[in-house]
C-alpha cells in the first residue's frame, strides 16, 4: 500500500476539472457520472403514515449527536413522522443505491388515492 506525503498534489476531481473547463471556455462539458459520498436521506422508505426509514447519515458528530441525522429527524417530526435510521452503506450505498433500491414495499390501496 503506497502513501502520499502531504506536499504532493491531490488528485483533481472530475467536478473540479469540469468547473475549470467551464470557466475557461464558457461551456460545461459532460465529465461522466458522479457519486454521493454519504447516503441520501430522501432515498429511504415510508413505512406508514408516521414512520420513515432513512439511511444512516455518517455526518459530523457534535456533542455526541450526528448533526445531519438530527436535522433529518427534526424535518420529518415537523410533518408528524418519526425517523429510524439503518446502516445501508455496504449493502446498498456502496453499490450506487439506497434503502428504497433494495426493498420491495407492498402497499394496501383501499380506495383510489388519486381521487383524494
* Domain annotation covers residue 78: yes
Which pLDDT does position 21 carry in this prediction? 59
Report, as an integer, the average pLDDT of 85-98: 80
Which pLDDT does position 83 carry in this prediction? 96
What sign does the dihedral 38-40-43-46 (CA atoms) show? positive
What letter would DSSP give residue 60?
Answer: -
* Domain annotation covers residue 95: yes
Structural domain containing residue 61 = 41-107
* Domain annotation covers residue 67: yes
Q: In total, how many domains does the chain have?
A: 1
* Domain annotation covers residue 20: no
- Quote the pTM value: 0.59
* Domain annotation covers residue 16: no
Strands (E), 16-77: 45-48, 51-55, 61-62, 65-66
Amino acid at each position: 500500500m503506497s502513501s502520499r506525503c502531504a506536499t504532493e498534489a491531490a488528485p483533481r476531481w472530475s467536478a473540479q476539472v469540469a468547473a475549470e473547463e467551464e470557466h475557461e471556455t464558457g461551456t460545461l462539458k459532460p465529465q461522466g457520472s458522479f457519486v454521493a459520498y454519504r447516503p441520501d436521506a430522501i432515498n429511504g422508505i415510508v413505512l406508514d403514515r408516521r414512520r420513515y426509514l432513512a439511511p444512516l447519515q455518517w455526518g459530523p458528530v457534535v456533542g455526541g449527536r450526528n448533526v445531519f441525522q438530527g436535522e433529518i429527524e427534526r424535518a420529518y417530526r415537523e410533518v408528524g413522522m418519526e425517523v429510524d435510521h439503518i446502516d445501508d452503506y455496504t449493502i446498498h450505498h456502496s453499490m450506487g443505491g439506497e434503502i428504497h433500491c433494495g426493498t420491495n414495499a407492498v402497499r394496501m390501496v383501499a380506495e383510489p388515492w388519486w381521487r383524494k
